[in-house]
Amino acid sequence: MDGAKAIPQFTAGEYRDYLAAGKADVVEFFGRQQAYAQQVQERLQAFACLDERVVALQAELRRAERARGEPLGPLYGVPLAVEDLIDTVDFPTAFGSPIHEGRYPIADATAVRRLREAGAVVFAKAATAEFGAGGAAAVRNPHQPEHGVGSAAGGAAAAVASGAVPLALATGNDGAVMLAASCCGVYGYQPSTGLLPRTGALEPAPSLDRLGLFARCVEDLALAAEIASGDDGRDRAALAVPPRQLASVCAAEPPVEPKFCFVRTPWWPQIDAEAREACEAFVELMRGVVGTAELPAVVEQAVPWHRQVQQAELAFALQREWRHHRDGLSAALRERLERAAAAAAVDYLIARDRIAHVACAFDEYFDRYDALLLPAAPGPAPPVSAPAPETAMHAVWSFAGLPAVSMPLLTLAGALPFGVQAVGALHNDGRLLRAVRWLVNEFVRRGNA
């Protein structure tokens, strides 16, 4: 291996180039990576399943492809972690619940299949919360193991942050990807609604659910999302959505210097004081390209609408578990389902009807700015024993289905990372990713000046 850079620091692109160039035997390489992942598991409990035999078989196939001189895919040999809410044919998918322990799907989820076809190796299943709805995953933070990972998507984020994999696929409908990325200090990306088909993923709230990605750089997010994007003929949200050219757009220089607006939402007073100070310092450092504004209090209306849709659809999604395996559900989840069952149907229908209106409410901002900026979490990763962070500040963006990227730009006390979130215009993911890449480079340039 390249002496100056250890395996855990590689991006997906660097993994691909290293293995495609034959600098390591693929099978031996994955053997070493598995040994490292076992150490990560002992320390963090980031994985729901590790299986050396499954990984070795995939590695043998990748070795044979190269030996035959076949064209190598853009993700050739890249280790991929997949959240335990997303189907994989060779790893069990239990939805984070003992009810489905040992469940082996008959096919990969569409996004998993497409990433495999591009050369990725499904390396492990990442731990998650119960049905993705039971708070944060029971995973320890790679930076400070006495702290948690922020959300149900935290296992996938921790897998990337620990160095076990450079890329992970997860789900979310309430800011889970942004929270986990911020707490674990990695890049997180929640694409626009419908960009990545959800076929083969658990959908506890179909009107809100989206797939998301974690990586160590923006370019990897763009490449993986491009590969997985587009209508698969099965997911209604992705109907008629074409594959997107994201990687080349992300890598291109913007035609004009991007403009950003840091917004103080109605939840700004609830942000951790140190995190607020770090955000203020970030805005000051980026003066000239980052302006400021306050969002009107009306955005708070999205919070109850989001909650009504999320709870009602969760109760419907888990109706079989509720009827036949109620004792297998946690007490907290049973309580949520009981509350949802008592809600009025008309309230749910009214709330769901508001999704399109909220999605259009920010068009005037995106006429002037490439992205809105705001904290990616209410504070640093909480202690393992503390409740998961509040998600109200993410409700409006999750409800609207807008694309968002969490950038690991800030560090708080105790060496805990803290993310800055960029939110873009609906279905304009390429513009958002390009602007984010530019902003990260400009932040590094100014910080080193």
**What domains can you pick out in the chain, each with its CATH number?**
7-250 (3.90.1300.10), 252-301+355-448 (3.90.1300.10)
Report d(CA 269, CA 146) in Å as an integer.
26
Residue 372 and residue 365: Cα distance in Å, rounded?
A: 8
Q: Which residues contact 39 (CB under 8 A, 6 or more apart)?
A: none
CA-closest candidate to residue 288, choices 263, 260, 255, 264: 260
Beta-carbon contacts of residue 289 (< 8 Å; ≥ 6 apart): 257, 258, 259, 260, 439, 442
Question: Quick check: 227 and 75 in contact, CB under 8 A?
Answer: yes
Q: Is the dihedral of CA 151, 152, 157, 158 positive or negative?
A: positive
CA 224/CA 14 separation, integer angstroms: 14
Q: How far apart are CA 421 and CA 262, in angstroms?
A: 10
State the pLDDT at residue 295: 87
Distance of CA 276 to the CA centre of its chain: 23
| pLDDT tens digits along 98-140 | 999 999 999 999 999 999 999 999 999 999 999 999 789 999 9
Strand partners, 416: 412
Residues of the chain with pLDDT under 70: 1-8, 449
* pLDDT confidence of residue 170: 98
Location of structure tokens 């932040």: 443
Angle between helix axes 176-184 and 154-161 (nearest 10 degrees) is 30
Dihedrals φ, ψ of 242, to 5°?
-80, 160
CB 86 within 8 A of CB 202: yes
Could you give the CA distance from residue 291 to residue 263 in angstroms, rounded to a whole number?
9
Beta strand 187-190 with 404-412: parallel, antiparallel or unpaired? antiparallel
pTM of this prediction exceeds 0.95? yes
What pLDDT is attached to residue 7?
54
Distances (CA, A) of 201 to 107, 145, 154, 317, 375: 11, 29, 17, 12, 28
Provide the sign of the torsion angle of the four alpha carbons 94, 95, 97, 100, taken in this order: negative
- Nearest to 249, CA basis, from 26, 20, 403: 403
Secondary structure (3-state) at 84: coil
Q: How far is residue 125's CA from residue 114's CA, in Å, rounded to a whole number?
A: 17
- Cα separation, 73 vs 117, whole angstroms: 7
Query: Up-side HSE of residue 437: CA atoms within 13 Å toward CB?
Result: 22
Nearest to 369, CA basis, from 430, 291, 283: 291
Nearest C-alpha neighbor of 164 from the set 40, 14, 77: 40
Residues 6+ apart with CB under 8 A from 35: none
Cβ atoms within 10 Å of 372's Cβ, excluding its own: 23
Q: Which residues contact 296 (CB under 8 A, 6 or more apart)?
A: none
User: Which alpha helices (DSSP H) does 234-390 contain, by range?
Assistant: 247-251, 273-285, 302-317, 319-324, 331-341, 345-353, 355-360, 363-366
CB-CB neighbours of 341 under 10 Å: 13
Q: Which amino acid is at 255?
A: P
Predicted local confidence at residue 356, as pLDDT = 93
Helix or strand holding residue 158 (H, E)? helix 154-161
pLDDT tens digits, one per residue of 188-214: 999 999 999 999 999 999 999 999 999
Cα of 162 vs its chain's centroid, Å:
15
Q: How far apart are CA 72 and CA 238, in angstroms?
A: 28
Encoding tokens for residue 196?
């990545």
d(CA 278, CA 88): 40
